[in-house]
Structures are given as structure tokens and as C-alpha cells.
Structure 1
């Protein structure tokens, strides 16, 4: 694809390229042609004429033409045929162009205890396919990564997409993830603590790989196209055996100094309260093994009226509520989204709303995830899309970087 901004190394050229490309992409996102001038006899949906681009960007026509040529050479822009009837009143048909979302592809990946999942999109984030494969919770790191490799290969083959067309890959993993993609700490996956996950995957994909905590990516997803769309201060609670949370402040993901923001599953240690395997026990002995199958059995017994199981579930819900309340009091979000496999528990939302109402000056809206199991992979895809958009359109950061180096 060449340089994403068209290949010209000059700052002015890159700025102009970003402005024109943004206008073309916006025309494609709207699904309609940008309104033409009086001499443009109509237009193709999702495209824009040189006259359109000159008007929208404020650039001169020769400048726009030069930028379009560079973007076409890079593969990001293509000229489209004029519509029938889309002819100037005098002279030749107006030339029209569109952003080539198919010029590259993005991948969102989830690595979990029991499954690996992937979702594929074009450069506009339009989903082209998805896949889920089971994996043993006892699988080693190498086995889990090999399972991921074959799963992704299968997805790309089904979609008819070559691996070299991937422009960025977002990856969601359990645990505390450092900025370089190393897993600092993870108790959910064997051999995962200390794993240089980002480095391993970059060797496989040979494109930018962005690794993030799974609750963080789910928060990003709900903000993008889920229950928190339209809200910039968000807490997402990934309710599981040891709950985690992701948060957005002012629309930006909050990772904390070391990537450990939102690790609410460790809050019980502050008061030396019961561990999760004790909270969910129905016998007085710690639940062993502490896995989703065992816990699902406890939930099933509770639904059937078993008194001890009901007490265990009540303890679990209280713990989840208190952990979430602590984070909400610290961040004061507008929306709290509850997701993860435990989100289907009857009675999770009501006690959470009641608890927050007791302590918060203005209790947040509390709702269940709209994306369900797709939240984590969708958020990982959004990370990849953000990275590509930064390359394509982030003129301000380009200027800031250039100024800082002088």
C-alpha cells in the first residue's frame, strides 16, 4: 500500500493528504455523494468530485489534484466512473473519487481461558467475518498461540484476504498488560505471566500489533457501538470469577501508570476478605477447582432453590457490587456497563443501582452490555482501527511530533 499518507515526505503534503483523505472517507461513510457544484450533474454514492473536495477542504484545485494523484498511487483512493446522467452541462463528466476501504484490513483478537476469537474488517471498520475456536484452559502459552495462529489463518482464508494486507492487529488478553504488549501478570492462563505477547505476535503478523487488557477493550467497544455509545465517561465491568474493569475518561481509555487500572478483583485483599473460591462455596470448603463450569453449577443450583447456592450467589453479587462501587466513586462515570459471563445473573443490576444510589451524589446509569461475547473482540478491532486512523488522519500529532524534534 506504500506510505499511508501518499508517499510525499513534506509536512505540508502530509497535512493536505490527511485533509483530502478524511473528506473522501467521510463521503464514503455517509453512503452518499458529496454535493456537487452547479456544473456537476450528480454523483456516485460514497464518492466526491474535485469540486466537492476543493469546497470541503478549502484547498486549491491544483493542490487537491496533486494530492489525489499521490493517494491513488498509494492505493488509498480510486477514481470511480461517472453515473449515467452525471454529466456536466457542458464538457466532460466530472471526475469523482472514493476512499478504498478495501486497500487494507484490520484484525481484532480475543485470547481467553476457553477460547480464541477473531474479527476481520476493512479500513472503515466494516466487519467482513469472524471466528471462534475453543481451546483448553490448561493449554500452554505456545499451544494457545498456535491455536490462535490456525484460527486466524482459517478466518483469512474464508474471507479471501491475504495476510500481508493486514495493516494493524488489536489483541485482547486477560491480565495486566504493559505498554509494549508484555503480560506483566496473569493468573487466568498458564504460562502467561511475563509473556512478551506483543513481540511474539508481531513476528507472526509483521504489522503493528496492539495488546490490551480484555476489560479495557470491552470498554472501548461499548463506547464505540454498544451500551455506552454517546457517553465519554464510562466504566465497563467484566464480571467473572475475578472481576476486572475498564474505564474511559473523557472518551480516552484509562490504563493507569502500569496498565493495572481497573483490577477490582484484588480489592478484597485490602480487607483480607474471603477469596473468590470461598465466596462461591456451598460446602464451607473453598470451591476447587475454581472454574466457570463449577460456578455455573452453583448458579444452576441457586436457580433451582438450593439455599446454600443462593447464599453463595448473593455473596458473589455483593462482592461484585462493592468492587464496582469503589471504582465508580473514584471515577464518577456517566455510564456503568456490566458484561462478561456473570452478567446474565438475575438480580445483578438492581443491587448495583441501589448501592451506587447510596454513595454517589449523582448515580450513573447502570446497564448490561449490548455486545455480549463480541465486546472484547470488537474493542480489539477498534484498537487496530484507531491505530490506522492515527496514521491516516492525525495531522495534529504529526505537527506536534515534528515541532518537538526541532
Structure 2
């Protein structure tokens, strides 16, 4: 049998197990670092299918790792499975998990059948939604020595042309995340307001300064924030206020430059009101820099005409910790559309409902097949793998220069 036929046969044989994982995750949404049911479901399913699995992998309680093969190059498929507060799987991570499992099972079967050097790993990556799970996995060495890392992400299908089901080459923004603390001095707001130093004034002044700054930033850049703590009672001058802000740009270096401009808004507000200010680093994400070689191979692997190489406007904005993986090895983060309607973009109740449909699951499986074929090419085609790595090394030089 050809590698493609082997992979097709394996997916057909294991489809019920993949569907069960998909349904279990969607029906039991769990927040970042609390994905215990999803973790257990993956570990038990993979063990029942005959795989050696490492639970709680790389020091993370809700991560897992399963690997097949020896020697050669290493391909990693990322399975995400965390949900969002209040709206469940409104980013479709159940579908990401299903596509990654599909790709892993298919490529593992092909690798065993062909008896060639090479390894394929299914990596459970918790806490993408703001928790920076992949950052911790990177620090623990989960991607060390990887030749490529791949995943696909669902997106609102109504933003795609009717004939296009997905996009291969999708850039996403770098994201600097900060928590800012303003400290003033409390007083009775009626009896002795002159004794107080109002931290809420500093918050409001910085908010307005940032709103003015937005007029002077590039079209692709974003600044947004929320008030976490803004005082307790109107008659007590607020002494301690907290805000959180996300600052995004097209590169990691660009996001850091923009953050320095935003920082001046906070520092200026503190100076003007007499408050102290300090900033706490949260989980910042690098920009997604997909491998052109992997993207083109994916377009070729999918049914002709169904996947576009280039990204249409607004297909999937935002940021992800997969960006940091792209700085560790050649990465692929394609998107596929699911049957949403106007207004049902990611992080909405409507998107969560569509992510649980049979049609969306079938689309995820097809994407998993495509990723498996790309993974096979990485493992079996020396020339392709060498060119892919060479291109990635050049891109990392550009990234270091802030380009």
C-alpha cells in the first residue's frame, strides 16, 4: 500500500475513537490548565489503541505526549483543548484536538508500515486561551529537535469565498500582555479629598492617552485593555487600581516597540496624578510565522481548489502561543472554515455551537489527513526537509532584525 492509502485506511479504522474524543471535549469545556477530563480522555484512548503515552508531560498536569518511531526527523502535531469562560468551545479547540489526533494516527501508521527512520509526536498543549501553555512546553524542551510542528484552527466559514474551505498561510499578530498597578493614597473623598492620591484618576488618564495614541499606530496594530480593579466605594479615594492591556503588532519586535509607546501613557498618567506605577509581565505571544514550504505542501495535499495559500482579510486575526513554536522550528498553523453565519466569529456562542456539529468534525478530519501527508513529506523527503529548514533559518534572521 502507498503511504496515502495506509493513512486513509487508518483514519477510517479509527474514526469512531477520533469522534468520541471530539464529542467528549466539546461537551465538557474546561478552562486553561484545568483540562483534566480532556487529558484523561486522550491518555486512555491512546493507550487503548496501543500507544505508549506520557501523561502530565513536560511538567504540565494537563499535557500529554505520545510518540512513535526512532531516529530520523521529528514531526509534532499540537492538540489544543482548553475552552473559554462562559462560552465553552467558542474557538473550536475540540476540532483542533480532533485534527491533530487524526494526523498523528495516520502518520504513525504510515511510519510503521514503511519502516523508515523518523518520529511523530502527538503533544497535548493546554491553556492556549491566555495561559501560554506552549510557552511552558517550549521551556521544558517539548519542541527541542523538532523538524516541524503542525496544527490547524477553525475559523468563521462565512468570511471565506464559497469555493474555499481553508487557508494555509496565515500570519497572526504578536501580543505583549501586561498587568499595570497604580498606587496612590486613600482618603475620605468628602471630608479630606486633598489628602488622597487618586489611582483611578491615573487609570482614566492613561486610558484616554492610549485612546489618542490609537490614532497614530499602524492599521494592523491593536491596543486593548480592561479595568481589573477601580476602587470599592465612591466616598473612598481609590488607592490601588489595576488594569490589563494587550498590545499587538505584526512581529514580536514590533509589538515590543509599540508597548514602549503605551508604557509612556501609563508613566505619564502616574506622573500627572502623583501615583506610583509598576508593570507585570503576563504571557506574551510571538507572531505566527508559518513555513511557506509546509503551507504549499498542505495546499497540494488537500483536494484541489479547496484550500487557498494566501490569507483573505479577517479570516483569523488575534494571537496564539503557536507563534512562539514557529520560533523554535518550522511551523504550520492553517485555518479551515466551519459553517458559521454573519456574527458567529471565534469567541462567540454561535461559533461554539457550530464547532460541535458533525459537519465541522468532518472538516477537521479532512484537515488532519492533509497534515499527515505533509508530515510524511517532512519525514521521507530529504530535499524537502532541507529546503524547509533553510527557509526557516533565513526567516529567523529576519525576525531577529524585527522584520
Q: TM-score normalized by structure 1?
A: 0.28
Structure showing greater relative contact order (alpha-carbon pairs closer than 8 Å, 6 or more residues apart): 2
Point out the structure with max Rg over C-alpha.
Answer: 1
